[in-house]
Amino acid sequence: MDNSFFNKYMDAESIQHRIRTLETGNVGFYSVGLYPASLAYNCAMQADSVSLLLAARPGRELLGAFPEGSLDGMNECHLASVISMGTHLQDGVPVNNTLADLINRCELVVLSANSNHVEVDLQEACRLRDELKREHVVLACLAGSFSHDKIDNESYVLCEKQPNLGFFSGFHRHGALRNPFDSFTANFCHPNAMTAMLGARMLDRLSPNIQVSSGVHNVEGQYIKAAKNMSSIFAGFGYTFHHDNPGVLPTLLTLLLDQCLDQAATVSMCRPDRQRLYNRQPFALTELGYGVQRIEAALVRDGDMEKVRDHTFAQLTAMVADVRGSMMLPVSGKPTRNFQAGQVLANKMRLEQRCPFQMEEFEEWCESEGLQKSALEGLKSLKYWPQILRNYSIPLHDASMVNLLYMSIYGNPATKELAFSVMTESRELTQYCQESVRPTHSRRYADALQHLDNPEAMDLLVSAVIADNASCANRDDSFVQDSQSLDTMPAHLKAMNVIEKSL
């Protein structure tokens, strides 16, 4: 998919004219949900002349995403401005904007539907661009879940399948967006640095209260948001179930954040366009605000050093803030919906003394508390979690927290009992946080030190010393603990063993 503000055959004069057009161009949001509607209200409060246009999905109302009663406290003039953003005059009569209207009147269109609709919307937007001869309208999305191909039974990040698709996201509270004194940060990412910079500028001009920075990591940004939505569920669970054990939370929340970024770094190494991302830009990425052009980490794998992670996410500050903010209780208002789902999970697990029987029961628990399952992107992402692990070769020790959450919902009854013990006992949970981040092969030697009376454990350590290379010493063998050791093994270790065999 071509997705650029410029035609490659433009001359200098045409490019100059195009840049001036973008400086005064409109931004459109299609399929208006709570975030675009709140953003529009913020723009109405802060700016007299707004370059934002809205178009609701057929069958939806422009302001229908606002919770019941929230409109009562809003300024009528500002609401009228929002409504005007979603309509235009036709023969003197106001009519609702459509996606075609946005393509015609905007230079940047954000498809704001969730993962249930965004791929269909993208196909339609591309068709309309061709039909209306508006090929240089740039398209972006903000869906925070994994997509799924039912035919191939494959899960993926949409920006990976459409590598030129823009991605817009950042930390926000819907209620705070309607606070005239609060301010917010966001990122607009596109793999072409020039497109990213111009798109970010257009979005930044919408309101003085919204600061938008550009970046090139659209795939990684979308992955971070999808992983964040799952991690936010666990954060909500931890805050609620372990509110009397505050020592657990710093460890849990730190690990949830770090693992989101570590997973995204592994995903970054899978990008087929990595060479172009870093080496074929119109200008250096440091000009966008990146501290360095590229940071990579290496890992010993089967005795060889191998590059495995790209950690150049310094420019995605707003998305990292989104992860942190989604795992915190706000000073005022409600936490994110996925965090609320975690709170529901904690209360129900405390009441029932068990994990949910299946995802459908968890969804029923959420809906009974007023949370629509269609709005819980984290639950949808969790469904496809094993496929994501395999697709991007994410190490289990970089995803141990989401692995545990997955097993608590999708595991068999015995696994769910283990998950329940680990998640609800603070000592087991802190030990799981500490032990599960170790690679499997390193834990093998740590376990051997705990069982020196076992001849096979001693042989493993002796072989490692003789070979002076632990990664190569009998790597296909591991000592087997006797039945008594297995019976006395802590729940967190049992859970880790099950996860390693199942995922």
Q: How many other CB atoms sit within 10 Å of the CB of residue 209?
A: 19
* pLDDT of the residue at 98: 97
Supply the pLDDT for residue 35: 84
pLDDT of residue 385 exceeding 60: yes
> Can you tell me the distance from the alpha carbon of 174 to that of 38, in angstroms, rounded to the nearest whole number?
6
pLDDT range class, residue 473, cuts 50, 70, 90: very low
Vertex 65 angle, CA 95 and 96, to 5°: 5
pLDDT of res. 482: 42
The pLDDT tens digits for 55-89 are 999 988 888 888 777 788 788 999 999 999 999 98
Per-residue pLDDT, 120: 95
> Average pLDDT for residues 437-461, to the nearest whole number?
71
Report the pLDDT averaged over residues 352-374: 95
**Range with top average pLDDT, 8-12, 65-69, 423-427, 445-449:** 423-427
pLDDT band at 480 (very low <50, low <70, confident <90, very high): very low
Tell me: pLDDT of 282 over 90: yes
Surface-to-core class of residue 54, CB atoms within 10 Å of its CB (0-12 exposed, 13-18 middle, 19+ buried): buried
Q: Read off the pLDDT of residues 177-191 as tens digits, 9 standing for 90 and up.
A: 777 788 888 999 999
Domain ranges of the chain: 12-223, 226-430, 440-502
Domain 12-223 fold is: Rossmann fold (3.40.50)
Q: What is the pLDDT of residue 143?
A: 87
DSSP letter for each residue of 195-262: HHHHHHHHHHTT-TTEEEEEES-HHHHHHHHHHHHHHHHHHHHHHHHTTT-TTHHHHHHHHHHHHHHH
CA distance 250 to 429: 12
**Whole-structure pTM value:** 0.89
Dihedral of the CA atoms 455, 458, 459, 462 (nearest 10)? -160
pLDDT higher than threshold 50 for residue 479: no
Query: Residues 234-263: pLDDT tens digits?
Result: 999 999 999 998 889 999 999 999 999 999
